[in-house]
Amino acid sequence: MPGKSAKGPREPLLGAPLDALDPYLPDNGNLGYRISRYDLDLQYKVSPNRLSGAATLTATSFVALRKFTLDLGSSLSVSRVTVNDKRARYSHRNRKLSITPDAPIPPGGAMTIVIRYAGTPRPIRGAWGEVGWEELTEGALCANQPNGAASWFPCDDHPSAKAPYRISITTDSPYYALANGVLESKRSRAAQTTWVYQQVEPMPTYLASIQIGPYVKKTLATKPVPVDAVLPQRLVSNLDVDFGRQVEMIDTFVEMFGPYPFPRYTVVVTDDDLDIPIEAQSFSTFGANHCDGSQRAERLVAHELAHQWFGNSVTLARWRDIWLHEGFACYAEWLWSQRSGSKSAAEWARHYYDKLAANPVRATLADPGSRRMFDDWVYKRGALTLHALRLTIGDGNFFALLKRWTDKYRYGSATTEDFIALAANYSTTSLTHLWDEWLFTAELPAFPGPS
């Protein structure tokens, strides 16, 4: 649940690219500026769960700024803020860090903001449970979606506010530390090791992540897409069973969706069980229960991989458009099932249509509401919508559309309306009725295909 804002008049201080806050999370994101780069220098002590850091944010103002704000969790304490190398006044309450520069920033002005902070990072509670920095039995993980990034670094926490990152994490030497992007350097000194990662492709805050644990690294492929697994030694023997088709899955999705959008892909398996896997940009995180030698989690392996295209490269501009992530990733599960010799996409569509029909939901897929946006019906109805579209325009046009979608909006943000407009180019007839039924009407349409 979004945190409460400080009392007082709401003047436009901060800045999402759309010049508006997302109504699903109205207390997250900021107006008036845009961050173009994050440099995070972090130190983490595993045993006491103690995080300290210096965040350097490069930004540009949209309007004249006498002050501006950032999102930052209440469990972290700020000790110093500078703007363009000059000390700035600040206040920190209700998960908002309000900063008053030494001199107002003119429209179009460049800002280098440095925030020093420390504390015991804790997840942020909300309507979707606890999200953000989470302690493990040995180590930590970050699961930010949708508003947990502020639990461990100051940010403009809006899904369309994407930027490159440099993440340096120093932690106890026995532990493996992973962050988004490509490992640039690793340096050990005494009992500490510093890992430095560069995430060049723009990334929304909710996909920024760090994973720390007693892990070993295994290489699954070196080309065309380098693929690694990072996991506890005790689970390595199960890896070939549960993730044995990971590389084949990437090849299949490249064929269906277009080029893999990042330099590499990593699967992380924690030493703890996790309720659900977690996607981050350039890697996915699974629990020990997903690597038990049973291969029961293979659909989840496909789902999280598909998010690299749908969600991580092409990111929703508003949370109401969550079906653009979850419906597409769910349909990728069905496509992989068929390709791998199991149930066909049509069989899965029939299976889940019957489940949805038995449990009607009075909300539309295009605007499910903030509390329902991660409900399972959004995933399944989103996948069914794509199946209906595929049957309407044919396989050739459908997969051409998906490739064009991932190409046109690569590393950018998009809306449901953008997808509707693009799909019109791949149909010889109007798709208005299809969209009205599947996206904008709560009642479940007739099953798309032979009954």
CA count, 13 A, side-chain hemisphere, 195: 19
Average pLDDT of span 75-97: 98
In-domain check, residue 448: no
Mean pLDDT computed over every residue of the chain: 94
Structure-block tokens of residue 259: 């080029």
Q: Is the pLDDT of residue 9 over 70?
A: no
Tell whether 356 and 236 lie within a shared domain.
no
Mean pLDDT calculated for residue range 395-402: 98
320, 342: one domain: yes
C-alpha span between 238 and 108 (Å, rounded): 54
Report the greatest alpha carbon distance in the chain: 68
Q: What is the mean pLDDT of residues 95-114?
A: 97
Same domain, 338 and 392: yes
Q: Is the pLDDT of residue 8 over 60?
A: no
User: Are 23 and 165 contained in the same domain?
Assistant: yes
115 and 12 assigned to the same domain: yes
pLDDT at 12 (0 to 100): 38
In the prediction, which pLDDT does 427 show?
Answer: 97
Q: Are residues 187 and 39 in the same domain?
A: yes
Q: Is residue 450 part of a domain?
A: no
Q: Are residues 137 and 12 in the same domain?
A: yes
- In-domain check, residue 451: no
Domain-embedded: residue 106: yes
Question: 110, 56, 53, 59: which is closest to 76 by C-alpha?
Answer: 53
pLDDT at 254: 98
Residue 443 lies in a domain: no
* 3-state per-residue secondary structure call for 23-87: CCCCCCCCECEEEEEEEEEEEEECCCCEEEEEEEEEEEECCCECCEEEECCCCEEEEEEEECCEE
Tell whether 224 and 198 lie within a shared domain.
Answer: no
pLDDT band at 193 (very low <50, low <70, confident <90, very high): very high
**Is 446 a domain residue?**
no
**Predicted local distance difference test score (pLDDT) of residue 181:** 98
- How many angstroms separate the first and last alpha carbons of the chain? 41
Query: Same structural domain for residues 286 and 348?
Result: no
DSSP H/E element including 412: none
Would you state the pLDDT for residue 451?
66
Q: Is residue 407 part of a domain?
A: yes
Tell me: pLDDT of 74 over 80: yes
pLDDT for the residue numbered 15: 43
Tell me if 239 sits within 8 A of 227, measured CB to CB: no
**% of the chain with per-residue pLDDT over 90:** 94
Residue 450 banded pLDDT, cuts 50, 70, 90: confident
- Which neighbouring-strand residues pair with 92? 97
Mean pLDDT of 233-252: 98
Pick the closest to residue 95 from 40, 156, 140 (CA basis): 156
d(CA 123, CA 141): 10
- Least confident stretch, 114-118, 126-130, 154-158, 368-372: 126-130
Per-residue pLDDT at 408 exceeds 70: yes
User: Which is nearest to 113 in space by CA: 72, 159, 146?
Assistant: 72
Residue range of the domain that includes 194: 1-213
Residue type, 405: W
Q: Where are the alpha helices (DSSP H) in 198-322?
A: 236-242, 246-257, 298-306
Alpha helices (H) along 374-424? 376-393, 395-408, 416-423
Q: What is the CATH number of the domain that holds 362?
A: 1.10.390.10
The tally of domains found in the chain comes to 3
Instruction: Indicate whether 22 pLDDT > 50.
Output: yes
| Burial of 163: CB neighbours in 10 Å, binned 0-12, 13-18, 19+ | buried
DSSP state of 364: B
Say whether both 20 and 138 belong to one domain.
yes
Write down the pLDDT at residue 449: 85
Strand partners, 86: 83
Would you say residue 32 has pLDDT above 70?
yes
219 and 208, same structural domain?
no
CA–CA separation, 231 and 222 (whole Å): 18
Is position 449 within any domain?
no
pLDDT in tens, 52-66: 999 999 999 999 999
- One-letter identity of residue 123: P
CATH number for the domain harbouring residue 158:
2.60.40.1730
**For residue 1, is pLDDT > 80?**
no
User: Which of 213, 230, 260 delimits the end of a domain?
Assistant: 213
Banded pLDDT at 214 (limits 50, 70, 90) = very high
Residues 220 and 77 placed together within one structural domain of the fold: no
pLDDT of residue 128: 87
Query: Tell me: the pLDDT tens digits for 307-331?
Result: 999 999 999 999 999 999 999 999 9
Is the pLDDT confidence value at 2 over 70?
no
> What is the rounded average pLDDT of the residues 227-253?
98
Boundary-marking domain end, from 308, 338, 367:
308
The answer, yes or no, to whether residue 288 has pLDDT greater than 80, is yes
Final residue belonging to a domain, choices 248, 283, 308: 308
* Dist. CA 94–CA 7, nearest whole Å: 10
For the chain, give the percent of residues with pLDDT over 70: 96
pLDDT at 165 over 90: yes
Token pair of 188, please? 């050990």
CATH number of 251's domain: 3.30.2010.30
Taking the C-alpha atoms of residue 342 and residue 337, their distance in angstroms, rounded to an integer, is 5
